[in-house]
Amino acid sequence: MAAAAGALMACGGSDGSGLGQGGSGGQNQCGIASCGAGFSLDAAECRCVPDGTGGSGGIGGSGASSGSGGTGGQTCGLVDCQPGFSPTPDNCSCVPTPVGPLPTTGTWIVASTVGAPSARVNHTVVWTGTEYIVWGGAELGDFGASLDDLGDGARYNPASDTWLPVSDVGAPSARGAHKAVWTGKVMAIFSRDVDVFPVPPMEGWLYDPAIDSWTTMSTVGMPSGRAYFDVVSVDGKVVVWGGWTEPGMGTTAFPDPSGGIYDPGTDSWSPIDPGGAPTYDGGHTTMADTGGFITFGATKHFLAPGAGRVVAARYDLGSGAWTELGERSGLASNPFVTTTFDGSLLLSVAITTDGNTCEFSSMPVGGAFTVDVIGSRTSGQAVPCVQSSRHHPMVVGAYLAEAEQRRLLDLATRELVDMSAPPFFDLTGGAVPAGYTIEFWERAVSDTDGQSLFSFGGYVQAVEQINCPDGAPCVAPQEISAGVSGVLFTP
């Protein structure tokens, strides 16, 4: 965090060099960080003008001088600009630094639509090692709204670019916003993960693609119904953990730290000991690890700025013991947390205490967090983070990918690149006509084999920009939504 802290230090000088004791800190809409000795900020003109005092004039800058101070014949005394701003040629004002597009990489392949499921939202996708299984969800309504639930699905083979239907005999009832995970042999599906209280009882099904058949899980010892719970597969078993059994996310009513471990081979459940488990008042994410699982989430999530913590802990299935792995403290009051687990590395993106800076944090299992600052809102573009409230990032080749924003973070250099633009018109069957600008694209993203990722479903929302003559009433932009079929990305 030293880089971020240094970016908020003032640097107005008293000797005309632009370096020195600094000023009071803070920000201003002009983008000026500090004025030199004998100059002060004229906020109306957005310039450093002589003040006749000869004193220092730090305003709060980026810690890097961009000009000289003093009144020796100068009409301007700009010393430094705020992050995201650059000095004008006359060294009198600061203007936003032009931000060019990120470099792009990778290729997209549009999946066949023959035998593919219908367009949908709130469905699940799992990777079996040879196929992607799409199941459930809800019909797509206007502007991404979900309509009637769906109880069908299909299996996509990327090697042959073909789809096979999933049997509906013995399948779960139609549903969306459910949980699904691949165990190595079967796909496990669980109840809806929605904050509707009282929550319905937990239910579970297994689908075996080798014989295209469904079976129900035993309910003896199954965890109670809950919202916001996590499901992962560990060594062929299924872990259900955490969540809320009553309203209280973001309050002192901490989530239920209990859960269960399901063995598909014996159709039986064993409990997870809640003793020693972390108590998250914010959201949490759980990831499989050999012989156990790691959970990662926020505490003191909605308290004063700087009070938040992000804590990681591991549960061992053999011993039934919890171990706290580490924490990252001093976060904003509402930090965003998202994680993925790759080998022995825990990866996350969070918002820091200033509310502007994005972090990339890594933590070897059993070790301490290390932090790299990878961007800021003051850079003149959206926060350049690999993060999403809908989809967790995943490791794809040499990158950490977050497919909703189509951003890739190079794990070696910590530099951001964009995925190459996907073929929107092909994905929607030409439903987005020329003259429309794509405004938002929500996508359901599967897990991967580490070399590519598959996306199916979601929607495109496009807006036709209508220019209004001066003085004439503006016509509301014309919006359309279109369902999205499947696409495969390879970096």
- Condensed to tens digits (0 to 9), the pLDDT of residues 32-62 reads 888 888 888 887 777 888 876 544 333 433 3
pLDDT at 292: 94
The mean pLDDT value for 250-259 works out to 71
Q: Which helix (H) or strand (E) holds 437?
A: strand 436-445
Answer whether residue 128 shows pLDDT above 70: yes
pLDDT at 59: 42
Q: For residue 373, count other CB atoms closer than 10 A to its CB.
A: 17
Ramachandran region of residue 435, left (φ > 0), alpha (ψ -120 to 50) or beta? left
The mean pLDDT value for 66-84 works out to 58
Which of the pair, 460 or 251, is modelled with greater confidence?
Answer: 460
Q: For residue 370, count other CB atoms closer than 10 A to its CB.
A: 11
Share above pLDDT 90 across residues of the chain, in percent, rounded to a whole number: 25
pLDDT at 421: 75
Share above pLDDT 70 across residues of the chain, in percent, rounded to a whole number: 58
pLDDT at 260: 97
pLDDT range class, residue 269, cuts 50, 70, 90: very high
Answer whether residue 278 shows pLDDT above 80: yes
Question: Which of 5-19, 129-143, 225-239, 334-348 reaches the highest mean pLDDT?
Answer: 225-239
Three-class SS state of 434: coil
**Model confidence pTM above 0.95:** no
pLDDT at 343: 63
Kindly list the distances between the CA atom of residue 406 and the CA atoms of 64, 191, 357, 362, 486, in Å, as whole numbers in the listed order.
Answer: 32, 29, 20, 21, 15
pLDDT at 473: 57
Q: Please give the structure tokens belonging to residue 481.
A: 């939504």
Q: Is the omega angle on the peptide bond into residue 198 within 30 degrees of 0, that is, cis?
A: yes
pLDDT at 384: 47
Q: Which helix (H) or strand (E) holds 344?
A: none
Any idea what the Cα angle at residue 64 is, between residues 59 and 66, rounded to 5°?
Answer: 85
The mean pLDDT value for 217-235 works out to 93
Q: What is the mean pLDDT of the chain?
A: 73
Helix (DSSP H) and strand (DSSP E) numbers for the chain: 2, 40
The one-letter amino acid at 349:
V
The mean pLDDT value for 173-186 works out to 93
Range of weakest confidence among 258-262, 269-273, 436-440: 436-440
pLDDT at 415: 73
Q: Dihedrals φ, ψ of 434, to 5°?
A: -60, 145
pLDDT at 163: 97
Q: What is the C-alpha end-to-end distance of the chain, expressed in Å?
A: 30
pLDDT at 232: 94
Q: Which residues contact 319 (CB under 8 A, 6 or more apart)?
A: none
Distance between CA 448 and CA 120 in Å, rounded?
20
The one-letter amino acid at 137:
G
Answer whether residue 486 shows pLDDT above 80: yes
The mean pLDDT value for 262-275 works out to 96
Which of the pair, 482 or 33, is modelled with greater confidence?
Answer: 33
Answer whether residue 97 shows pLDDT above 70: no
Range of weakest confidence among 86-95, 171-180, 233-242, 269-278: 86-95
Range of weakest confidence among 46-55, 125-134, 252-261, 385-394: 385-394
Answer whether residue 331 shows pLDDT above 90: no
Q: Dihedrals φ, ψ of 162, to 5°?
A: -130, 155
pLDDT at 203: 94
Answer whether residue 210 shows pLDDT above 70: yes
The one-letter amino acid at 206:
L
Answer whether residue 154 shows pLDDT above 90: yes
pLDDT at 11: 24
Which of the pair, 94 or 476, is modelled with greater confidence?
Answer: 94
The mean pLDDT value for 466-481 works out to 58
Which of the pair, 359 or 110, is modelled with greater confidence?
Answer: 110
pLDDT range class, residue 115, cuts 50, 70, 90: very high
pLDDT at 63: 32
Burial class (CB in 10 A: 0-12, 13-18, 19+), 173: exposed
